[in-house]
Structure 1
Amino acid sequence: MPDWLEISLRTLLSLIVLFLLTKLLGKRQVSQLSFFEYITGITIGSLAAYISLDLEANWYLGIVSLAVWVLASLGIEFLQLKSKSARNWIDSKATVLIKDGKILEDNMKKERLTTDELLEQLRKRSVFKTADVEFAIMEPSGDINVLLKKEHQPLTPAHLGIKVGPEQEPQAVIMDGNIMDEPLATLGLSRQWLQTELEKTGVTVENVYLGQVDSYGQLYVDLYDDQLQVPEPQQKASLLAVLKKCEADLEMFALTTKDQQAKNMYGQCSKQLEKMIQDVKPSLIR
């Protein structure tokens, strides 16, 4: 067999074996690597190159070595799942770098991290002053996570005591100008509904690069032509405005009528409508 053909077949075999073994190791092997997983990844890559190019050695010995490394890695992962002490010894513990706005120099030296590197990692998280940091910790993976002090954290609806409705995953119903029937069926919608919504915005399905429907049944579209502006759906805002107008009208009727029975009826209806608005408002303001 010619050398070029043997190398091609070995490379293809290495690719298939490497893919299957990596699938066996799981997603963590390609996302966050521990020290041992880092070593395993390098070694497996070297073994795959050995299988592909070393024509003087038996190819199956490389496969055996790959299998041993993968089994050893799986054994280590199983041990880490069962033992906290094993996790601490293999992956090491997280290290606190900043506490109450103060940099812990001893921990910085322990991790061999310079001030410039720390500031760079903070800037990646939109933090430019260490005094604003309540807590910063270096994870075993090497990532630095930051908790800002209360007064420097972004304002959320929870801080204001505002309740908001739950949000579910939007469904892509149009991709590259083609209607996706499965997501539409998941939402309980039809092509006729989609065409009606597109007509409201004045666009055709062929001009839509991406169309998404949120959990409240509102369609958002991104067009191929970025110069065209498409208005966002206003159904929820319009409904909230109508409900508030009805409440205001009922309250005005209660204040202006001289009939005591009608005044009580309008007043009671206004309070009931106000309570209903408060109940549905979290879903209408998203």
Structure 2
Amino acid sequence: MPDWFEIVLRTLLAVGVLFVMTKVLGKRQVSQLSLFEYITGITIGSLAAYISMDLDTDWYLGLVSLAAWVACSLGIEFLQLKSKKMRDFFDSKGTVLIRDGKVLEENLKKERLTTDELMEQLRKRSAFKVADVEFAIMEPNGEINVLLTRDNQPLTPKHLGIKVAPEKEPQAVIMDGEIMDEALATIGFNRGWLKTELDKIGVTIENVFLGQVDSYGQLYVDLFDDKIMVPVPQEKASLFATLKKCEGDLMLFGLTTKNKAAKEMYEHCSKQMEDIIAQLKPVLKR
């Protein structure tokens, strides 16, 4: 049997053995890597060490083994893309740990997860009581995701029936003391506007390590000299948030009051506030 063919067979055998052993170890061992990604990382490192350090054998055999491994890995990834069954086989399925506020002890034993470890993962997701958790699942990569009960979920504008404008990404307009003209053009500003804003806070472009413009059209800067304190602009954001809070409060008062006249008044005021915000939005929020 040729040496290179024997190396390929030994590599494929190692794939199977490592996969089975990692399956036995369970999801805790992979920690946010899929099973095969975990195996691949270990093996490629070992093969690289073999190629570098083993002087008693032909070095090209290590390259053959590495190439066979990479080909096998690519083949498995292709199968995973094409088939749900293959994804379930190689990466396994998620395991439900908590359902309806009840811990599923058998599934904890299956994943060899202790109660202390479960509580630690829940605390990382701001869930300090199991009763506050509606659903918790251990993903194939070993991460635990949690769905809190409706009573313990954060209140959002959607819960109040309030529609909010989409948040635009901040644009970096200064980097390492250099102006990013493309980013400025994206948000509709120019160098003249930027110079005016820098003059307001008393700094020059050369002293700015990073400058960003948020969705309110306000400039935030970080200077090379960290000892210099720069005021953070909040006027537009604060005013916009206050107006939205007023609109939400008026809407909430209208929904909760039982007095018909008061309900009509609150709804009318809420509509007026909505119109005011719509008119001011181009100025307050870009």
Q: Greater shift after overlay, 131-140 or 171-180?
A: 171-180
Corresponding residue SS for 2:63? helix
What is residue 170 of structure 1 aligned with on the other side? 170
Corresponding residue SS for 1:86? helix
> Aligned partners of 2:88 and 2:241: how far apart in 1?
54
Listed as ranges, the gaps of 5+ residues in structure 2 are 1-30, 244-268
Deviations 1:197-246, CA, capped at 9 Å, x for gaps:
1112233223433211124432122344356241415346669999xxxx
Deviations 1:154-207, CA, capped at 9 Å, x for gaps:
111111222211112211112333333332233343222211111122332234
User: Once the 2 structures are TM-superposed, how far is the Cα of residue 146 of structure 1 from its aligned partner?
Assistant: 0.4
What is residue 276 of structure 2 aligned with on the other side? 277
Deviations 1:55-92, CA, capped at 9 Å, x for gaps:
23222221221111111111111111111111112111
User: Once the 2 structures are TM-superposed, how far is the Cα of residue 275 of structure 1 from its aligned partner?
Assistant: 6.0
Provide TM-score, normalisation by structure 1.
Answer: 0.70
> Aligned partners of 1:162 and 1:132: how far apart in 2?
26
Percent identity at matched positions? 68
The change in CA–CA distance for 1:82 and 1:153 in structure 2 (over 3 A counts) is: same
The change in CA–CA distance for 1:117 and 1:125 in structure 2 (over 3 A counts) is: same
The change in CA–CA distance for 1:125 and 1:278 in structure 2 (over 3 A counts) is: same
What is residue 184 of structure 2 aligned with on the other side? 184
Which has more radius of gyration? 1
Contact 1:133 1:147 in 2 (8 A): yes
Corresponding residue SS for 2:209? strand
User: Once the 2 structures are TM-superposed, how far is the Cα of residue 137 of structure 1 from its aligned partner?
Assistant: 0.3
> Aligned partners of 2:93 and 2:271: how far apart in 1?
56
> Aligned partners of 1:111 and 1:240: how far apart in 2?
46
Aligned pair count? 229
1:35 alignment partner AA: L
Alignment of 1:47-196 (within 5 A): 47-196=47-196
The change in CA–CA distance for 1:105 and 1:282 in structure 2 (over 3 A counts) is: farther
Contact 1:201 1:231 in 2 (8 A): no
2:202 alignment partner AA: G
> Aligned partners of 2:152 and 2:36: how far apart in 1?
38
> Aligned partners of 1:148 and 1:241: how far apart in 2?
29
User: Once the 2 structures are TM-superposed, how far is the Cα of residue 113 of structure 1 from its aligned partner?
Assistant: 0.5
What is residue 225 of structure 1 aligned with on the other side? 226
User: Once the 2 structures are TM-superposed, how far is the Cα of residue 153 of structure 1 from its aligned partner?
Assistant: 0.8
1:138 alignment partner AA: M
Contact 2:172 2:211 in 1 (8 A): yes
Corresponding residue SS for 1:63? helix
Listed as ranges, the gaps of 5+ residues in structure 1 are 1-30, 243-269
Contact 2:51 2:59 in 1 (8 A): yes
What is residue 204 of structure 2 aligned with on the other side? 204
